Amino acid sequence: MTSQKTILRALAGETLPTPPIWMMRQAGRYLPEYRATRAEAGDFLSLCYNSELAAEVTLQPIRRYGFDASILFADILLLPQALGADLWFVTGEGPRLSTITTQAEFDKLVGPNDVHDHLAPVYETVKILSRELPSETTLIGFAGAPWTVATYMIAGKGTPDQGPAHKLREENPEVFRAIIDRLTDATIEYLSMQIQAGAEVVKLFDSWAGSLKGDAFTEFALKPAKRIIAELKSRHPDTPIIAFPREAGDGYIGFAKATGADCVALDNSVSAAWAAEHVQKDGCVQGNLASRHMVTGGQDLIDETREIVKAFSNGPHIFNLGHGITPDADPENVQLMIDTVRNG
Ligand code: CP3
């Protein structure tokens, strides 16, 4: 049966005359209505765990722009929090977590099936959204990939080069492997519950995949994604999965086939022409306009948007940014991007 929703059609391998479109971090600080709702919630994490308000901010960019998909409002760091890590956000700096680098610290984490009470508000947000979204809008659930989430759990914060996680990987491979395995198992349960609650597509964000090279990329980016996707496909065979091994470079080649993903999301370090030839030949791709165009706008935005649409026009494609939109973006530039994609 062919679904009418354009994103699901592209994910099923259909080449559409106009690519469907959504945007990473489309609910976010560049929107005044997001900032108002976040203030009402109190802070970012309170917003994530307030199902009514999280659903409200998810819907805001749909009302304003009519994107073809909406992504659940939550964060990849809610899962480590559910596993037992402390989590807080420092304004202007980003996330902070209690660190896990020893066997004793690892042993305090809960099991992969013990995360659901903590994450119940997220599943409730998904349920509200599947009732309230327009019938043509696809609902995307998500989780962080094990490696990316592990980099935050090990360092206790974001790091420029993921140094602490690489160090643990080399110096204490047993504990490192245990963290990756626990995250892999818990991610399967978390995404499975999102699908049961109404997510129609799920996306796996491996934002730091690019810092894994060679065998390490295979072991800790590719294999966990493959295991998560295989298990989700066995439980929910009709739910498409988007993988985002950001900055994987050549690692993008064959990634969908090797992991079973229905689509790979591309960052903007690869050109659309290159990705059309080497990645889109295996199926749907998503991407990859540079986020900076949402700040700078103008003819550059129009030219680059057209180039990306054209480069991917011979195969299945979902238009998106190469990474999340930034808080300094101008909401009018988002409209200009959408108009350019839809009207040429
Ligand atoms: O895309 C969406 O609109 C859905 C919601 C979403 C958020 N984070 C909301 C958010 C998604 C899919 C994420 C994923 C996420 N979170 C990733 C992977 C994608 C990527 O960007 O690489 C990562 C690495 C995180 C962890 C995280 N969350 C960091 C490092 C930060 C701080 C940096 C920043 O942008 O402030 C966050 C905070 C965060 N997550 C915000 C939003 C809207 C901003 C928080 C705020 O409102 O103050």
Cα angle for residues 113, 207, 183 (degrees, 5° grid): 20
- Between CA 124 and CA 108 the distance in angstroms is 27
Percent of the chain with pLDDT over 90: 98
pLDDT at 235 over 60: yes
* CA-based radius of gyration for the chain: 19
Q: Is 38 in the pocket of ligand 1 (CB under 6 A)?
A: yes
Tokens for 199, please give them: 């997510």
State which ligand 1 atom lies nearest to the alpha carbon of 158: 30
What is d(CA 16, CA 31) in angstroms, rounded to the nearest whole number?
A: 29
Per 3-state DSSP, the chain is made up of helix, strand and coil in percentages (nearest 5) of 55, 15, 35
Q: Does residue 137 contact residue 67 with C-beta atoms inside 8 Å?
A: yes
**Where does 219-260 have alpha helices with state H?**
223-235, 255-259
Residue whose CA is closest, atom 17 of ligand 1? Answer: 76
Buried b (16+ CB within 10 A) or exposed e, 245-276: bbbbeebbbebbebbbbbbbbbbbebebeebb
The proportion of the chain whose per-residue pLDDT surpasses 70, expressed as a percent, equals: 99
Show the tokens assigned to 253. 């080649």
Q: What is the pLDDT of residues 250-267, one digit of tens each?
A: 999 999 999 999 999 999
Instruction: List the structure tokens of 209.
Output: 């995949």
- Is 25 among the residues known to form the active site? yes
pLDDT for 134: 96
Q: Is the CB of 265 under 6 A from ligand 1?
A: no
> What pLDDT shows up at residue 1?
47
Assign 147 a pLDDT band (cuts: 50, 70, 90): very high
User: What's the CA gap between 95 and 112, in Å, rounded?
Assistant: 22
For the residues 302-320, what does the mean pLDDT come to? Answer: 98
DSSP 282: G
Average pLDDT over residues 26-49: 97
Q: Can you tell me the mean pLDDT for 76-103?
A: 97
Q: What is the DSSP letter of 280?
A: G
Would you say residue 232 has pLDDT above 80? Answer: yes
Rounded Cα gap, residues 294 and 298, in angstroms: 9
Q: What is the band of 344 on the pLDDT scale with cuts at 50, 70, 90?
A: confident
Tally of CB atoms within 10 A around 75: 17
Q: Is 47 in the pocket of ligand 1 (CB under 6 A)?
A: no
Average model confidence (pLDDT) across the chain: 97
Strand partners, 203: 142, 242
38 is catalytic: yes
Query: Is residue 190 flagged as an active site residue?
Result: no
pTM: 0.97
β-bridge pairing 87-90 and 94-97: antiparallel
Look at ligand 1, atom 8, and give the residue with the nearest C-alpha: 75
Active site residue 9: no
Catalytic residue among 65, 152, 190, 252: 152
Length of the chain: 344
User: Among the atoms of ligand 1, which is closest to the Cα of residue 208?
Assistant: 22
List, as one string, the DSSP characters of 32-83: HHHHHHHHHHSSHHHHHT-HHHHHHHHHHHHHHH--SEEE-S--TTHHHHHH
SS3 letters across 190-224: HHHHHHHHCCCEEEEEECCHHHCCHHHHHHHHHHH
The answer to whether residue 69 scores a pLDDT higher than 80 is: yes
For residue 267, the SS3 value is coil
Q: How far, in Å, CA of 116 to CA of 141, rounded?
A: 15
pLDDT digits (tens, 9 = 90+) for 2-33: 568 999 999 999 999 999 999 999 999 999 99
pLDDT reading at 164 higher than 90: yes
- Is the pLDDT score of 92 beyond 90? no
